[in-house]
Amino acid sequence: MTKPEVLLLENIHPVATDVFERNDVLVHTRPGSLAEDDLIEALQGKTMVGIRSNTKVTERVLDACPDLRAIGAFCIGTNQIDLAAAAARGVAAFNAPYSNTRSVVELVIGEIIALARRLPEKTEKMHAGVWDKSAQGSHEVRGRTLGIIGYGNIGTQLSNLAESMGLRVIFFDTADRLAHGNARRVATMEQLLEEADVVSLHVDGRPGNAGMFGAAQFAQMKPRSLFINAARGMVVDDVALREHILSGHIAGAALDVFPVEPKAQGDEFESALRGLPNVILTPHVGGSTQEAQEEIGYFVSGKLTRYHAGGSTELSVNLPEVPVPALTTGSRVALLHHNVPGVLASVNQVLAEQEANVTAQYLSTRGEQGYVVTDVETALSDAAIAGLRDAESTIWLRTHHA
């Protein structure tokens, strides 16, 4: 039997390769991201693909790669994947929503201190041989107000660490979020911008967030406040930020993400923010610690291999979630179908006609799709499998054997 194959792009941690190889998956690796045509060519015959933030899996890619069953985003965000198109074709997508949370938070904490003390300018002058021992513009962060926009996994952990350092924390989120510690929710983003000495963005990459922070929002921030974006590049108007830094309204900024980022290591980075005083620019490394990347490598490769080997869609971001245990005896029938009435009844009718003894059955729906996984003591006949596979409601059917 031919081994399944996975393509890993963008320097995914080698622990992922170890996980795939232990599960008898043939691994191909590329160091950088691939453009659409190159990705299509590289994915021919591949069952799975692992990417980070720079590789775009579009509807065209999905149409041109019929063997592809699963996509692993070895990062938090999934806006680089056309999730709806993948779901419509029955291609599962997984990500790592928690694995690099601490790494991002520690970077932001470090940037808050560095900007408040104007360390970028100090170190630049020292490298140029200039001894500038002055407290001008340098402040402690204790007693300052941190405003967090987006109070999810990263925002809440940032809130906890910031409070332990003596910062007051306020936050704004469009979803209902429980305040941690002494953090205080504010009713509007405008209120947050008026009160915060430091504004840190932690929103996701949904299309509605594109361009949400521009000239109007920078103008509403307190004079001489600090700005941090470790969320998504497309959220912020970098040209507007440049203007507000040059005017002195914004005292400093740190950015780890950008609207357009180089595709490969060593490519030139272009930005309106280059060369500005008290501005920290980092190459999308918020989650790039050895600890985080190793954890992400384990986590996402584990989700992909469990999906391929046993049909588990636990924590899938686009298919119905059905967490199933490893199959130890008998056979498993996994059926992804259109979410219409009568599918489960049809499956159980086939099982009854086969006199199949069902040992477990799992079902979930998500939007227009449903997913049912059935474990039986003995394999179903080819005719029964064909009948289920050919049903009008079926998207795909796969069998697994212990």
C-alpha 15/C-alpha 17 separation (Å) is 5
DSSP state of 313: -
- Residues 74, 66: contact at Cβ < 8 Å? no
d(CA 9, CA 30): 5
Q: What angle do CA 224, 247, 254 make, to 5 degrees?
A: 55
Catalytic residue, candidates 232, 242, 244, 308: 232
In the residue annotation, 295 being an active-site residue is answered as: no
The length of the chain, given as a count of residues: 402
Q: DSSP string spanning 145-211? A: EEEEE--SHHHHHHHHHHHHTT-EEEEE-SS--PPPTT-EE-S-HHHHHHH-SEEEE-----GGGTT
Go through 204-218 and write b for each residue having 16 or more CB atoms within 10 A of its CB, e for each that does not.
ebeeebeebbeeebb
Q: How far is CA 48 from CA 181, 210, 376, in A?
A: 42, 29, 27
User: Which residue, chain included where needed, has tokens 């190889």?
Assistant: 21
Catalytic one of 163, 194, 195, 261: 261
Would you say 245 and 118 are in contact if contact means Cβ atoms under 8 Å apart?
A: no
Lay out the sheet containing 145-149: strands in order across.
184-185, 168-172, 145-149, 198-201, 225-229, 250-255, 279-281
Residue 40, Cβ density class (10 Å: 0-12 exposed, 13-18 middle, ≥19 buried)? middle
Question: How far is residue 166's CA from residue 156's CA, in Å, rounded to a whole number?
Answer: 16
Q: Which of 168, 202, 284, 337 is catalytic?
A: 284
Instruction: Kindly state the helix (H) or strand (E) to which residue 257 belongs, with its residue range.
Output: none
Other CB atoms within 10 Å distance of the CB of residue 21: 13
Is 261 assigned a catalytic role?
yes
Establish whether 368 is a catalytic residue.
no
Q: Are the CB atoms for 51 and 76 separated by under 8 Å?
A: no
Q: Which residues are catalytic?
A: 232, 261, 284
